[in-house]
Structure 1
Amino acid sequence: MNCLCCHEEIIIELDWANFLFPPKSSKLCDNCKRQMTLLHGNRCNRCSRVTEDKICDDCLRWQRYYDGVDVLEYNYSVYTYSSFMQDLIAKWKYRGDYELGTVFEDSYSTFFQKAFASIKDAVIIPIPLSMERLHERCFNQAEMLASFLSLKKMNILSRTHGEKQSKKSRNERIYSENPFILQEKLNNPVILVDDIYTTGTTLRHAAKLLKDAGCPEVYSYTLIRG
């Protein structure tokens, strides 16, 4: 089998241990797996940014922006946004390599239990793409990530088309109009799912709509902390 990322052949060295108990087949070679760096060390309790502060300056600004009460309870992210991860996400998300996303399944489902085990009756809502963006990419990466999780999923958000977030400055993102439309009210806690937390604007736009419609708590779970 070849590595889904670099396409090099994956060679498993045989010994008595894996001869008697064959290991689960790997989708990445050891070199690529080593470059997928998990977030570690102290992190912001609100957004998962690596910092010694319990609440980072960015989250304190968001708190002030929302008159003292952030609409997002907290975000938990799994990986750091290294240059390797940037290339990996580009292949998966922008170049339509759907199968590549399966390399995240084990870690994404495992850390979900760690981060959200105490949240009762929660519903997962993947962040939607606009119809135009979905046509370009052929799949929604957030929906794929959500499929790795065992809780109930609902697609009750839709999104208007606009300029890509990656092309906007930080201030342009923060002060942009809310692109989401809520199609159904929900009284359960919600865990929003997306691939990357950068400024937190996209997630907070969605959280604001849900909270205004009566949702008691909104959390987010992202693959990468940018």
Structure 2
Amino acid sequence: MRCLACHDTFFEQPVWRKLLMLESPTKLCRLCELKLVPISGKRCVACSRSLDSLTQAFKNGDQCLDCLRWAERKDIGHLLERNVSLYEYNAFLKELFATFKFRGDVVIASFFAEKMARLYQKDFRGYLPVALPLSQERLVARGFNQSSLLMQGWAEDQDILIRTTGEKQSKKNRKQRMRQLHQNPFSLREEAKIEQKNIVLVDDIYTTGTSVRLAAIVLKENGANKIASLTVAR
């Protein structure tokens, strides 16, 4: 096997579940997979952030400071039911995402898609999965929507949301992201029917939660019931 991260050849121990094709072959070598940090221990009930790694000044009870701030926003703070993520966003994952998103190594998405599928079945069974869209400008430049690729093999992108701005979220600080609340880049396609549906937004990274809440505003205004988000990293 060749590792999707470091590209070195590695050999995995044969196990019956893989020999019988009940499990997919391992896509990362042991050393690279150990660099991924699954979110474990006590989590923020709202955004999945590890509370164990935070000092008391940045948490209160079962929520982190970011989510407590959102809860104070009576206008949109309640729109997102919760976010669930797989991994902590560290330097290794940042580089892996850069290779995936900006250098076009899209096969990396298959590693995360399998894990996202299991998390979806565990936490959001019955919810309609919707990939957070890119603007047309960004989609043409990149050639793919990373959020859609994270759904490959377990869900079909419903393509119900439109994004009008092409600015990179990764280039914005918290203040700039929060300013977007007054300029919502998302809208709903005319033919979309989402009344009374529970929806889970799929994306690669939950940072401040601004993007998924902006999308949630549009979905709520058009009759959606519950709205949550499922991401690879927090």
Query: What secondary structure is seen at the aligned counterpart in 2 of 1:194?
Result: strand
**Would the aligned equivalents of 2:204 and 2:232 in 1 still touch at CA under 8 Å?**
yes
Q: Deviations over 1:77-126 (max 9, x none)?
A: 01111111111111001111111111113222112222224xx4x21110
**Aligned-pair CA distance for 1:55:** 2.3
**Would the aligned equivalents of 2:116 and 2:151 in 1 still touch at CA under 8 Å?**
no
- Tell me if 1:164 matches 2:168: yes
| Counterparts of 1:78 and 1:186, CA distance in 2 | 27
**Once structures 1 and 2 are overlaid, which stretch shifts more, 20-29 or 107-116?**
20-29
| Counterparts of 1:136 and 1:129, CA distance in 2 | 10
Structure 1 unmatched runs, 5+: none
| Counterparts of 2:6 and 2:137, CA distance in 1 | 30
- Tell me if 1:194 matches 2:203: yes
**Aligned-pair CA distance for 1:65:** 1.7
Runs of 4+ in 1 over 4 A off after TM superposition: 20-24
Matched letter for residue 220 of structure 2: K
Q: Deviations over 1:48-96 (max 9, x none)?
A: 1111631222112112223485110001001111111111111001111
Q: 1:88 aligns with which of 70, 86, 96?
A: 96
| Counterparts of 1:43 and 1:12, CA distance in 2 | 32
**How many percent of aligned residue pairs carry the same amino acid?**
40
In the alignment of these two chains, the number of paired residues is 218
**Aligned-pair CA distance for 1:200:** 0.2
Provide the residue aligned with 1:28 in structure 2. 28
Provide the residue aligned with 2:148 in structure 1. 143
Query: What secondary structure is seen at the aligned counterpart in 2 of 1:214?
Result: coil
| Counterparts of 1:192 and 1:115, CA distance in 2 | 13
Provide the residue aligned with 2:2 in structure 1. 2
Go from structure 1 to structure 2 and tell me whether the alpha carbon gap of 1:181 and 1:25 turns closer, same or farther (over 3 Å shift). same
**Would the aligned equivalents of 2:138 and 2:166 in 1 still touch at CA under 8 Å?**
no
Query: What secondary structure is seen at the aligned counterpart in 2 of 1:11?
Result: coil
Structure 2 unmatched runs, 5+: 53-60
Provide the residue aligned with 2:57 in structure 1. none
**Would the aligned equivalents of 2:137 and 2:166 in 1 still touch at CA under 8 Å?**
no
